[in-house]
Structure 1
Amino acid sequence: MVALENGELGPLLSPGTLRGLEDECVTDVKAQTRAALLRVLQEDGEHWGSTEDWSSNLAQDVCELLEEHTERAPRISQEFGERMAHCCLGGLAEFLQSFQQRVERFHENPGVRELPPDTYISRTISLVNCGPPLRALAERLARVGPPESEPAREAAASALDRVIRLCHRILTDLLFQELQPHFSKLMRRKWLSSSEALDGIVGTLGAKALALRRMQDEPYQALVAELHRRALVEYVRPLFRGRLRCGSARTRSRVAGRLREDAAQLERLFRRLESQASWLDAVVPRLAEVLRLEDTPSIQMEVGVLVRDYPDIRQKHVATLLDIRGLRHTAARQEILAVTRDLELCEVAALSPPRDRAFFADIPVPRPPICLSLPLFLGRLTLSRLACLPWPRPPAPSPLRRPPARR
């Protein structure tokens, strides 16, 4: 009676009973949400390969399903709220792994190639757009849940990263398949006097970017940065294939001028596309300067800046540039290459940049030939010719013979 008069009623259920009821609730929620999430994925996935107009609600449905439980549980107790958040985060991580596998199967299915290109791109963008809200949900659940929720959060983030990387690669490959005919026209004689090739590249990229704008901001920024990097790599690649030879100062000046003009046009394009990969803007002008400059100290300085700003450039790239400008077998060439050698030996320069900052690592250069003076004997006549041979391949290892058994 005293407790009633003072308003000090204790809990109606014992801690053990309350814990048992909470355990049952968490178990039921885990089973119900698992089935509901798989049903959402199944229903959404049935539309991915269709040609009809359709807008995905997958991320919204998943968030609503899980937030219904995580918002009510803390009203009972903070501890129960943490347990429910941990339960839902585990279910979300499991769901996202299934989502990742379903996305992979969708893109691996040969039938999706029969979809109209715009539809296929639209479906891929819809899948990417599921990432940000589901990632934010996983972060919220991890903050509310106990410390042991971290592995589930990492698993959820990993699955989303795989989905976004795959979709970005699909979109990038589709776009550059269309751009390849324009890139194949670069660094040829016609390119020096005509902007046709670059106009085609800029026009196609600008038009396709309109569709990509439907992507949410975070994945869009990552995609446009990769498009920026890939476009510059594909632009520079034919230069290092040695399509052009600049034996005279006049030709070098023309090529360098054209490179700078194209670089400015590409920079304007990606600025309009809101690319944040501004570190790429200087690469083509730097290469142009290496071709344009005439005195060795200035070229050495420019090569040093190039190596500093793009640490994955190697001596073979600089050697190819010197070949293009006709600087072969001279003391000046060795002095310039020495700059690259010295910087490559530095510990800082030896560190490889992260994948999204790699540039020259994706640009192969032709292997130089070995030039041998081969005497050819014909009767009493000896003819010395310069024979340029490709690099020899290492001999195949001879099969090991088993030693004879001792008697």
Structure 2
Amino acid sequence: MGRTMKEDLEAVVQRLKPLFPAEFHVVAAYAESYHQHFAAHMAAMATRQLDKRDTYMLLVWVQNLYPNDVIKSPKLAHELQGIELGSLLPAKEIQRLEATFLTKQVASAKELMAKALKEELQHWDDDVQPQQLDGHYHNELTIDVMQIISQSLDMAEEITADLGEQMTRPLLTELAAFLRSYLSAFMKFLENGEKKRNYRANVIANINNCLFFRTSMVQRWQSLQDTHSHVLHPLDELKARGYDALLQSLLLNLKPLFERFTQTQWEASEEILEEILAMVAESLPEFTGLQGCLREELVGVVHLHLVKEYIVQLSKRRLVLKTPEQQQLLAQRVLNNADHIQSFCAEKGSKATWLDPALPKLAEIIRLQDPSAIKIEVAAYATLFPDFSKDHLSAILAIKGHLSSDEVWSIQSILDLSTTGLRDPAHSLFSLIKVG
């Protein structure tokens, strides 16, 4: 009908207009007549029980195709300029249809996303090995869901840009609910699927999904980085749980090696650290299925664990050194080990450079003898690591057996000054370390 109307009006302009006097306004007469008949037909259609697709087609004709592709088409725009044809449907009827379209389209997107997740869960249950793309594990869930989202938004925006904006909020709400369901299903898989042959490959594929989801969603909605950032929280949790699952056996195997530090009074610390780093290096090739930046992030998690566990062993109050020479020897060992950890992790891809001063500056606190100099170093340390508490400091100062209780109290008092907010709260180190 629209094409017929357009072609007929073009014929009026090309063939009939030259045959009539200008005062007859022949183009306007035909356009108004066609418009009235077309509007009557549209009004009749709008009263019917329309499904989602029909509602969309009706709206896209009324709001987009008719005013833009017909009325403003190259051959007609000039001729119809100044003719007040109006809308094919009353404003209230358009609002009703738009509300119906939004409701049905969002419900459809919700249903399709749930179906996509159900199909992916079946693959996990059936122990299907995930596909590989450029050497990295992946599954189709991200692609399916983002196609569903994009299609819904594109349809709304094709009607009007404003309707596309209206679609965004409810669609983000459903997307957030979907990601929570995805996280819940993934956590159940971690609990129950460990014995499956492709368990770790599927864990890696879903961690990769987090990157694809985040990238695709932020490209579509810049606001996800600020006002709607909560939508992405399940992805952060899913990724963290996935890292924990992949690293669980490695970290358990490292634990007895770290405990040997205190048993040997740190004299063989370099040899023990060599064993620890060799074990880590042996485990890393398994994670090549991760996307590059995610593999670097995983190595960063290992980096954090190595530094944290090293500090845990220093903080166990089993080592008391009363002479400056003993303290300086330990400080040098800590410094050497810190350099070894840092260079190893950097070589393997860790970007967690915020950890670099954690051990060297503790070594400096152990090395220093003058309480005033120690206080200055502690104050600087607290600006780098605001979660460094008096309990943590007390455990480190316990190594320095020559300090009196008054001197220890005086040094600890420097932490009474607030350092909150001086460092990114996402970089937590000492909050992971319990001392007692």
Q: Which runs of 5+ in 1 are unaligned?
A: 367-407
Match of 1:261 among 336, 346, 370: 336
Unaligned runs of 5+ in 2: 1-25, 32-75, 132-138
Cα shift at 1:59 = 0.2
Match of 1:365 in 2: 435
2:205 is aligned, of 123, 126, 136, to: 126
Q: Does 1:96 align with 2:187?
A: no
Q: Which letter maps to 1:107? A: L
Deviations 1:138-192 (A, max 9, x none): 44555699xxxx98x4553233233233323333444311221221222332742
Q: Which residue of 2 aligns with 1:392?
A: none
**1:259-316 CA-partner distances (Å, limit 9, x unpaired):** 1111001101221233333222122122222333344444343333333333332334
User: Alpha carbons of 1:86 and 1:137: their partners in 2 closer, same or farther (altered >3 Å)?
Assistant: farther
Looking at structure 1, the residues matched to 172 and 379 of structure 2 have their Cα atoms a distance apart, in angstroms, of 50
1:71 aligns with 2:154: yes
Q: 1:122 to 1:281 in 2, by over 3 A?
A: same
2:111 to 30, 35, 43: 35
| Structure 2 length-normalised TM | 0.70
With over 3 angstroms needed to count, the CA separation of the structure-2 counterparts of 1:258 and 1:37, relative to structure 1, is same
CA radius of gyration, larger in: 2
The 1-side partners of 2:223 and 2:89 are apart by 26
Write the mapping of 1:8-407 to structure 2, written as runs, cut at 5 A.
Answer: 8=83, 9-55=85-131, 56-109=139-192, 112-116=193-197, 119-139=198-218, 142=221, 153-154=228-229, 156-189=231-264, 191-193=266-268, 195-216=270-291, 219-220=294-295, 222-328=297-403, 330=404, 334-335=406-407, 337-341=409-413, 343-346=414-417, 348-349=418-419, 356-366=426-436
1:57 to partner: Cα distance: 1.0
**Equivalence for 1:393:** none
Corresponding residue SS for 1:349: coil
How many angstroms does 1:10 deviate by? 4.1
CA contact (8 A) 1:59 1:130 kept: yes
Tell me how large the CA RMSD over aligned residues is.
3.2
Count of matched residue pairs: 352
Please give the alpha-carbon distance, in whole angstroms, between the structure 2 residues aligned to 1:29 and 1:351.
Answer: 44
Shift of 1:74: 2.1
- For each residue in 1:373-397, what CA deviation from the matched residue of structure 2 results, as whole angstroms up to 9, or x when unmatched? xxxxxxxxxxxxxxxxxxxxxxxxx
Q: 1:353 to 1:67 in 2, by over 3 A?
A: same
8 Å contact 1:132–1:218 — kept in the other structure? no
The structure richer in helix per residue is 2
Q: CA deviation at 1:2?
A: 4.4
Conserved? CA contact 1:26–1:84, under 8 Å: yes
Shift of 1:42: 0.8
Identity of aligned residues (%): 24
Residues 362-381 of structure 1 show CA distances to partners (whole Å, capped at 9, x for unaligned) of: 33334xxxxxxxxxxxxxxx
Amino acid at match of 1:251: Q
Q: How far 1:252 sits from its partner (Å)?
A: 2.6
TM-score (norm 1): 0.74
- For 1:167 and 1:190, locate their aligned partners in 2 and report how far apart those are by CA, in whole Å: 36
